[in-house]
Amino acid sequence: MSRNPYVPNTEEDRRAMLRVIGARSVDELFDDIPAQHRDPPLDLPPPLSEIELRRELSTLAARNRPAGEMPCFLGAGSYRHFIPAVVNHIISRGEFATPYTPYQPEVSQGTLQTIFEFQSLVCELTGMEVANAGMYDGASALAEACLMAASIAGRDRIALLSTAHPHCQDVVRTYAAGRGLGVDVMEPEAVALEGGHACLAVQQPNFFGYLEDARSLGEAARANGSLYVVAVDPISLGLFRPPGDYGADIVVAEGQPLGIPMSFGGPYVGLFATRERYLRRMPGRIVGRTRDSEGRTGYVLTLQAREQHIRRERATSNISSNEQLAALAVTVYLCALGPQGLRRVAEHCYRKSQFAAAAIASLPGYSLPLRGTFFKEFVVRCPRPPQTINAALLERGIIGGLDVSHRIENGMLLCVTEMNTRGEIDSLVAALEEIGR
Amino acid sequence: MTESPKDLKYTREHEWVRLEDGAAVVGITDYAQEQLGDLVYFDLPEPGTELRQFEKLGEAESVKAVSDLFAPLSGEVIEVNESARESPEIVNSDPYGEGWLVRMSVADFSELEKLLTAEEYDALIAAESEE
């Protein structure tokens, strides 16, 4: 075995350890792996010096077109919102940036307090009674919500609207397959729940940016004895009623819009909230506030007895650690904005997207194929394939929308947030007009 | 270690059962509550639930862990101890009395033969403690 400067064990140490466990060699410990799969040759270029590596990475990074570099109208699950400087400042503190999941949690009072604040904010935002410390992302939170519903209802089918994000649908299918649960995808106008359906899961606003008829969908779920699971865009809650107001049993969200950069898809954080009566069925952990023997406020990690690192195969979910730093970013973001600030962000998104949609729809060849209220995203039917339009937009220094022509003929899903200026929207409209001719 | 009450039968999973008027009263042993620590929650079946012997009855959650509870006998749940649900700590303070968990009908009295006597149970926990 080659000497590695980062492995402190000597040959003698190794021999002593092997003697204790009764193995002749280190290789013997890997006997279960077929020989041809052990130590496969890695097809890697030779090592680089630090300066060469930096050059290499800079070259690779330069091939990316980051959203901040040019006007961006791409959303579809990952959103460009303004992040106040205080967010990065707070989460960069060493105490927050470096710790791993607290296994001796009560000594980490600062971390526990931030989790407690996070849970409180998620409850306030969603209109629910209890929230956990956060999940991996919005998609896994939705999947966990469906599993939780199956466990509460004692049923083995999940009903999911076809208008939920396709990636989230995939994650739900993956989680469901592992538990032997069936997934039925339904059109919003043709929901047909049966006795076996543990829940109806709905994304609000939906993948195309439009509001579902959340109240009547909830009534359909309730009438069938199914739980009502709602996945929300948290920014939209600055303007719209929280799901707690229209009968949701479990509310989940992708927390990324709340102070987390798009970062090529992660790390993100899932928000997860429910009714108090389901507290014991909730995956993940929760932090409680109490008083110590001297009457001082203390924060404690509770419900972790159901977690994987203690309960292994019988844990409520496979969540062990969580995306704590991302959850902290959400906490700082929401505290920095406050309810009024969040409302203003949501109003900007709403008004600017309505303005952009109306302007685009008035162009020859363009139309809005979907009806109803949308929040910050909408689908435009283009006179040509969206792929062609997007390429032409990029040539003009604009990142266009997502091609959804597999669902809606020549459909492009565009997103407008508070980050898009009037000038950017005007440039987009002008470019689309020119390209559409 | 105090000896387990002689008039009860025990499972290897640390439940006890006492026959009262032809029905079975079920709880967890003093040893179990001691091992679990402060109990905070019981997930117990609703009356009317049919269970087979050694089938999962519910869950006990303490500050340290969540453990499954098993039915010592086959039968139907007749009554659940609401006090144990509301104040799980009474199981810590009085596991054989106030801290009972469920009352069940007994489908087959011969199943009692598969349970441990107090002496056998004490021997079991003595062995477990030595490990």
Q: Does A309 touch chain B (CB under 8 A)?
A: no
Share of chain A above pLDDT 90, in %: 81
Q: Does A314 touch chain B (CB under 8 A)?
A: yes
Mean pLDDT, to the nearest integer, of A422-437?
Answer: 96
CA distance A227 to chain B (A): 20
Average predicted confidence (pLDDT) for chain B: 93
Mean pLDDT, to the nearest integer, of A418-422?
Answer: 97
For position A102, what pLDDT does the model report? 72
Poorest-pLDDT segment among A31-40, A228-237, A249-258: A31-40
For position A322, what pLDDT does the model report? 59
For position A208, what pLDDT does the model report? 98
Closest chain A residue to B61 measured between Cα atoms? A305
Torsion of CA B84, B89, B93, B97, to 10 degrees: 0
Most confident segment among A32-36, A245-249, B1-5: A245-249
Mean pLDDT, to the nearest integer, of B48-73?
Answer: 91
The pLDDT of residue A14 is above 70: yes
The ipTM, to two decimals, is: 0.70
How would residue A9 be classed by pLDDT, with cut points 50, 70 and 90?
confident
Query: Which residue, among B66, B67, B68, B70, would best test binding to A if mutated, counting the most A CBs under 10 Å from its CB?
Result: B66
Nearest by CB to A310, which of B43, B65, B68? Answer: B65
Q: Does A277 touch chain B (CB under 8 A)?
A: no
- The B residues from 40 to 59 touching A (CB cutoff 8 Å) are 41, 43
Tens-place pLDDT, residues A173-215: 999 998 999 999 999 999 999 999 999 999 999 999 999 999 9
The pLDDT of residue A49 is above 90: yes
Q: In terms of Cα–Cα distance, which of B51, B54, B43, B41 is closest to B90?
A: B41
The pLDDT of residue B131 is above 80: no
Query: For residues A80 and A97, what is the distance between their CA atoms, to the nearest angstrom?
Result: 23
More confident residue, B131 or B114: B114
Mean pLDDT, to the nearest integer, of A12-27?
Answer: 93
Nearest by CB to A305, which of B43, B65, B68? Answer: B65
Query: Which residue, among A278, A300, A314, would best test binding to B if mutated, counting the most B CBs under 10 Å from its CB?
Result: A314
For position A30, what pLDDT does the model report? 92
Mean pLDDT, to the nearest integer, of A280-285?
Answer: 87
Residue pointed to by tokens 């470096």: A98
The pLDDT of residue A377 is above 70: yes
Angle between helices A324-361 and A109-126 (to 10 degrees): 30
Q: Does B65 touch chain A (CB under 8 A)?
A: yes
For position A133, what pLDDT does the model report? 92
Can you say whether residue A17 is alpha, beta or left, with left for phi > 0 and alpha for psi between -120 and 50 degrees? alpha
Tens-place pLDDT, residues A78-123: 999 999 999 999 999 998 988 877 777 888 899 999 999 999 999 9
Rg (CA), chain B: 14
For position A264, what pLDDT does the model report? 84
The pLDDT of residue A1 is above 60: no
For position A41, what pLDDT does the model report? 86
CA distance A253 to chain B (A): 28
For position A314, what pLDDT does the model report? 65
B79: Cβ–Cβ under 8 A, 6 or more apart, which residues?
Answer: B47, B102, B103
How would residue A347 be classed by pLDDT, with cut points 50, 70 and 90?
very high
Tens-place pLDDT, residues B88-123: 999 999 999 999 999 999 999 999 999 999 999 999
Neighbours of A101 (CB within 10 A): 17
CA distance A306 to chain B (A): 6
| Cis status of the peptide bond prior to B88, with omega within 30 of 0 | no
For position A2, what pLDDT does the model report? 55
Q: Does B74 touch chain A (CB under 8 A)?
A: no
Query: For residues A312 and A317, what is the distance between their CA atoms, to the nearest angstrom?
Result: 9
The pLDDT of residue A284 is above 90: no
Put simply, whether the predicted model's pTM sits higher than 0.90 gets the answer no
More confident residue, A177 or A285: A177
